[in-house]
Structure 1
Amino acid sequence: MKKKLWILPVLIGILLIGGAVGLVVYNMYESNAAFEKSQDVMTELKQLIPDPSPANAAASPSTEPPSDDLFAPYEEPTTQPPSEMRSISVNGEEYCGYITLPQLGLELPVMSGWSYERLKTSPCRYSGTVEGRDIIIAAHNYNSHFGRIKELSQGDEIWFTTADGMQYFYRVDYTENVDGYDVDQMLSGGSSDWDMTLFTCTLSGQSRVTVRASFEETEE
Structure 2
Amino acid sequence: MNQILVTEKLYVTPELKRKKRIYKIELFLSVFLICLLFSYYIYAEYDRNKSEEVSKEILAEIKEQVDNTVKKDENDKIVVILEVPGTQEDNEDKTENQNNNQTKTNNTKIDTKTYTSKDGVKYTTEAILKIPKINIEYPVLSATSDALLFVSLNKYWGPQPNEVGNYCIVGHYYENGKMFGKLHKLKNGDKAELTDLSGNTLKYQVYNKYVVEPTDTRCTSQLTDGRKELTLITCTNGGKQRLVVKLRQV
TM-score, normalisation: structure 2: 0.64
Letter of the structure 1 residue corresponding to residue 186 of structure 2: L
Structure of higher CA gyration radius: 2
Superposed displacement of residue 167, structure 1:
0.8
Matches within 5 A, 1:68-83: none
Q: Distance in 2 between matches of 1:178 and 1:15?
A: 39
Which runs of structure 2 are paired with 1:18-167 in the superposition (5 Å)? 18-49=35-66, 50-51=69-70, 86-91=111-116, 92-129=122-159, 130-142=162-174, 143-167=177-201
For the 8 Å contact 2:155–2:170, the answer to whether it is kept is: yes
Counterpart Cα distance in 1 of 2:35 and 2:180: 27
Deviates more, 1:16-25 or 1:43-52: 16-25
- Identity, in percent, stands at 24
Q: TM-score, normalised by structure 1?
A: 0.71
Residue 41 (structure 1) shift: 0.7
RMSD: 2.9
Per the TM alignment, residue 189 of structure 1 is displaced from its structure 2 partner at its CA by 7.6
Q: Secondary structure at 2:50's aligned position in 1?
A: helix
- Alpha-carbon distance between aligned partners in 1 of 2:184 and 2:133, rounded to the nearest angstrom: 12
Task: Compute the displacement of 1:206 (Å).
Answer: 2.0
User: Deviation digits for residues 97-132 of structure 1, max 9, x if unmatched?
Assistant: 111011222111111222222222211111113312
Unaligned runs of 5+ in 2: 1-16, 72-108, 117-121
Contact 1:124 1:137 in 2 (8 A): yes
The one-letter code of the counterpart of 2:34 is I
Instruction: State the AA in 2 paired with 1:173.
Output: Y
Q: CA deviation at 1:95?
A: 1.3
By how many angstroms is 1:21 displaced? 2.8
Picking from 211, 215, 218, the partner of 1:177 is 211
Shift of 1:201: 2.4
Amino acid at match of 1:159: E
Partners in 2 of 1:120 and 1:128 — Cα distance? Answer: 21
For structure 1, the 5+ residue unaligned runs are 53-83
Cα distance change, pair 214–46 in 1 and its aligned pair in 2 (3 A): same
Task: State the 1:137 CA deviation.
Answer: 0.5
User: Residue 232 of structure 2 aligns to a residue in which SS?
Assistant: strand
Cα–Cα, structure 1 residues 169 and 18, in superposed 2: closer, same or farther, change >3 Å?
same
CA distance in 1, matches of 2:185, 2:228: 19
8 Å contact kept, 1:133–1:215: no
Give distance in 1, aligned partners of 2:62 and 2:36: 39
1:64 corresponding residue in structure 2: none
Equivalent residue of 2:46, what SS? helix
Q: Which has the higher helix share?
A: 2
8 Å contact from structure 1 (residues 34, 144) kept in 2: no
